[in-house]
Amino acid sequence: MRFKHLAPALLLGAALVTALGAAPAAAQQDMAKFKQSQPTEPPSLPKIAWSFDGPFGTFDRASAQRGFLIYQQVCSACHSMNQLYYRNLSGIGLSEEQIKAIAASVQVPGGVNDQGQPIERPGLPSDHFKAPFPNEEAARAANNGALPPDQSVLELAREGGPDYLYAILTGYRDPPAGLKMQPGMSYNLYFPGFQIAMPQPLQDDSVQYTDGVKPTLDQEAKDVVTFLTWAANPEMEERKQTGVRVVLFLVFLTGVTYATKRRIWSDLHH
């Protein structure tokens, strides 16, 4: 009789044990499926046909100027450009008057006044680009402990160069279901580990262009990457032109040498 009363309890206990044992197993299976569905490495970088590619490539000045506008209105809030002077902007086709106006729009340290207090003055073309933060500690404090890299030579410092920068700027996605994101991080398809401290900086209509070009995410990314590539390689075109001249000279010299050799040996045979 006691067994009859105990039987339902035993059956209920067995069911609970089975359910509790099945829950972790199901969770493990779900996690295994999630890991299988997610890549462990970022995909191959997109290959963009840049105007500056190849031995005869040149910078698209209009694109570089739009890219500077993006740096000015978006990137400069966090990223410095310590290797550039305002006067260098003549390299992307800006006039002297435009450069003076851009420099004067910022306030830079101007020494001290008669009371020994630090003062500021309008920028000059001979000044470096103004940094967004006074020091590294302030930069980290404003960016969840991450230090925004200086963008002067960013294109040279990243494997893949302009293609990598373009991929990062256009690679933001909603995180996959089941992926635990760290606080303050964003999901990026092309960033190692897929979690990046920089929030998505660009989207459609992030800026307003004045030349009629539509500011899509793709266009904005290409423009700012063109500007950053120029910033890291301001003498690229000159180097390419020098290289072409050297190659042409070597071809000419080889032809002259060959012709001279043939003539000398021809005279000896006669």
Asked if the structure places residue 253 within a domain, the reply is: no
Asked if the structure places residue 46 within a domain, the reply is: no
Q: Which residues contact 4 (CB under 8 A, 6 or more apart)?
A: none
pLDDT by residue (tens digit) across 83-136? 999 999 999 999 999 999 999 999 999 998 888 899 999 999 999 999 999 999
pLDDT by residue (tens digit) across 215-231? 999 999 999 999 999 99
- pTM listed for this prediction: 0.79
Q: Output the CA angle 119-125-129, nearest 5 degrees.
A: 70
Residues at the binding site are: 75, 78-79, 198
Q: Give how far the C-alpha of residue 106 lies from the chain's centroid of Cα atoms, to the nearest Å.
A: 24
| CA–CA gap between residue 87 and residue 102 (Å, rounded) | 10
- Considering the chain, what is the average pLDDT of its residues? 86
Are 136 and 146 in contact by the 8 Å Cβ rule? The answer is no
Asked if the structure places residue 91 within a domain, the reply is: no
CATH number, domain with residue 231: 1.10.760.10
The two structure tokens encoding residue 251: 């071809």
Asked if the structure places residue 23 within a domain, the reply is: no
For residue 162, what are the domain limits?
61-84+128-237
**Residue 245 — very low, low, confident or very high, per pLDDT cuts 50/70/90?**
low
Instruction: Specify the pLDDT at position 269.
Output: 63
**Residue 3 — very low, low, confident or very high, per pLDDT cuts 50/70/90?**
very low
Residues at the binding site for heme c are: 75, 78-79, 198
| CA–CA gap between residue 270 and residue 31 (Å, rounded) | 87
Helices (H), 123-160: 136-141, 154-157
Asked if the structure places residue 142 within a domain, the reply is: yes
Total domains present in the chain: 1
